Amino acid sequence: MINLEIKRNDPCPCGSGKKYKKCCLVKENVIQIQEVKEDRFLQNKHKLVIKLKDFLSKKIPRVQYYQLEAEFKNRSQHTLDEMLNSGLFDFYLFFFHRFENGLRGIEMFMNETESQLPQEEKQMANTWLTLSPKLVQAINKENETILFEDVLTKEQYQVADSRDNLPTFAPWIGTIALLEPFDDLYYFNGVKIFQDPNGVFRAVKKVEELMQNAKLTREQVLFDYLPEILASLLVDEENDKQTREILEYTLQYTVQDQQVLSQFIHGQEHFTIDTWDQENKACSWAGNWYQYTDNEISEPIFLAEVYGKLFVENDLLTFISLDEKRLEEFKQIIDPLIDCLALTNLDEKTKSFTIPFYAEIRDMMFSLGKDIPQYFALYAQGDIRFEFDKPIRQFKGLTIKELIESGRIADAENWLKQIEFNLYQQVRQQYQHVDITADFNTVRKELGLPLSPFVTGGDKRISTFEQITKQNQQAAPRVEIDPDYEQLGFTIESINSFYAEDMVAFFKEKTAGKSENTVRKYRNSLQDLVIIFDMYDMTNWSWDSLDYTFWEKTYVLDFLSLYEVISKTAIKDFLSTTKALAKWLDQKKKSTSLTKVVTQATKEVEEPMLHQLV
């Protein structure tokens, strides 16, 4: 048996050439000591907060407490949920509100209890007395720290990047907070709300407005108007109320000849087939192809604007578009089917709906290689060069370049920061991890703006986004999916997943020569499983990664969430299909052990799932 224990005098495994005791052992001890010190710091903070809260609860009469709380809610415009409001209100009483005696909560507490506090808590409380609020924004991230900048004074603070101190992170987040120094780093004191760049931008404007109107210093405003600043940080009063109306156009036809329709659709270069079988027929009309390249990926991504969607259900063809001009073009494209009586006109209608004024609706389709992370499709779609020279609604028709040329650098910077923040959040929500960020630095170089420190690759990151011209339009692929994969609901993005080929082979083997009912059972169940698998980023997964917990969640949460109303038959079909798939995989691959796991999971969940229908 090999002894893997590293002795103090052994060469350090890091390859430095030093002895372990002189190299990484020292680093490990330093890290452990730092963790112990931080834990003790946080424990002392927790104890002191409890004592301070208990002191004020006895000091403030209940009627006065409720009056102050109601005033806090009104001043913050009821923007906080109850749990957050409670924590922030206590924070406000501790450090901001001045009572009738002219003292803040922390000042009254120290006047009356300082002599009773242990030394460490006394030192901490004295530090709290000196803290002043700051409106800060993250401007860099390195290893275990995040650099925050006071957006009003430009002072900078290295903040500990620990879960207790900063639960989540995104580029350019900001907050109004008290920053407490400890061991060469800063920690947020009390409850804090991290907001996007737009929220920080609004809060700055609010502080400047209050300074001017109330004739107060910056520090006085931050102390005296915490509720109002929180409201500005959280809510865009002006823009949240602005909306605009968009129209959705629908054409419907009666299908007289399904075969002629199918041949026509498949023969049109305008259309990309999404799915086309006996039960489900859908395709997209796409054009204006673009090519996105990035030095973080090995090949280009192709994307196109979707002008409209076509669906066929039984003998009804429906075409939907948000562009009235495309509607008229579609009529001309489909006109030959009217002439040969394969289609007859049925209905044309328009529906309006309201969206936020500055929101943009952009429907795109993609083609990207199997080795490219799926979230790069979002980067390509969200690239601002897509509309680089188009007017920006919130800036009254100015383009980003015109905004900079007119001297509105702060507006341009904040606009870019907000887009970077939004895209990061979107990828994190869909894929949990953001290993490679979107590239905003290539654009920033072109605009002559400082680079973003949050972009993977820094100043070496290079990407391009360009429309494919007629001369090189053959580079844009016609995105088609093998019908065997299509009928199970695989998309161009999921067709290269680890489970795709196995599920198709399983389906073909189990349904060969079988009745339509059997085919329908396996197809419907596997389509549901594909939808569920698509909910996860399975880039580095395999069949063996799918343990009991995964299957249990698949059955009782993911599967049932697909349906508003579901039958016992559908539940039993899904359970039996997944059991059959597990058994088939074990037999075919000889390297998986899914049967036991899936059988156990189905046995445990079947009765509770069926019981929900009673």
Which residue carries 């507006």 as its tokens? 411
Distance CA 47, CA 476 (A): 63
284: three-class secondary structure by DSSP: strand
pLDDT in tens, 459-508: 999 999 998 864 454 555 555 567 888 889 887 667 778 898 999 999 99
Residue 479: which residues within 8 A CB-CB, separation 6 or more? Answer: 272, 365, 366, 367, 492
- Backbone torsions φ then ψ of 63, nearest 5 degrees: -60, -45
Please say whether the beta carbons of 525 and 578 come within 8 A: yes
Sign of the alpha-carbon dihedral angle for 279, 284, 290, 294 = negative
Q: Could you tell me the residue ranges of all domains in the chain? A: 30-234, 240-477, 483-612
How many Cα atoms are found within 13 Å in the side-chain-facing hemisphere of 431? 20
Out of 188-197, 241-250, 314-323, pick the least confident: 241-250
How many Cα atoms are found within 13 Å in the side-chain-facing hemisphere of 582? 23
pLDDT value, residue 108: 97
Q: Global pTM?
A: 0.71
Task: Report the run of H or E that residue 19 belongs to, with start and end.
Answer: none
pLDDT in tens, 544-587: 889 999 999 999 888 888 876 788 888 999 999 999 999 999 99
Distance CA 531, CA 101 (A): 63
pLDDT in tens, 409-453: 999 999 999 999 999 999 998 888 889 999 999 999 999 999 999
Please say whether the beta carbons of 202 and 237 come within 8 A: no
Share of the chain above pLDDT 70, in %: 91
290: three-class secondary structure by DSSP: strand
Out of 95-104, 307-316, 382-391, pick the least confident: 382-391
Distance CA 195, CA 175 (A): 6
pLDDT in tens, 53-77: 999 999 999 999 999 999 999 999 8
Distance CA 61, CA 410 (A): 46
Please say whether the beta carbons of 441 and 455 come within 8 A: yes
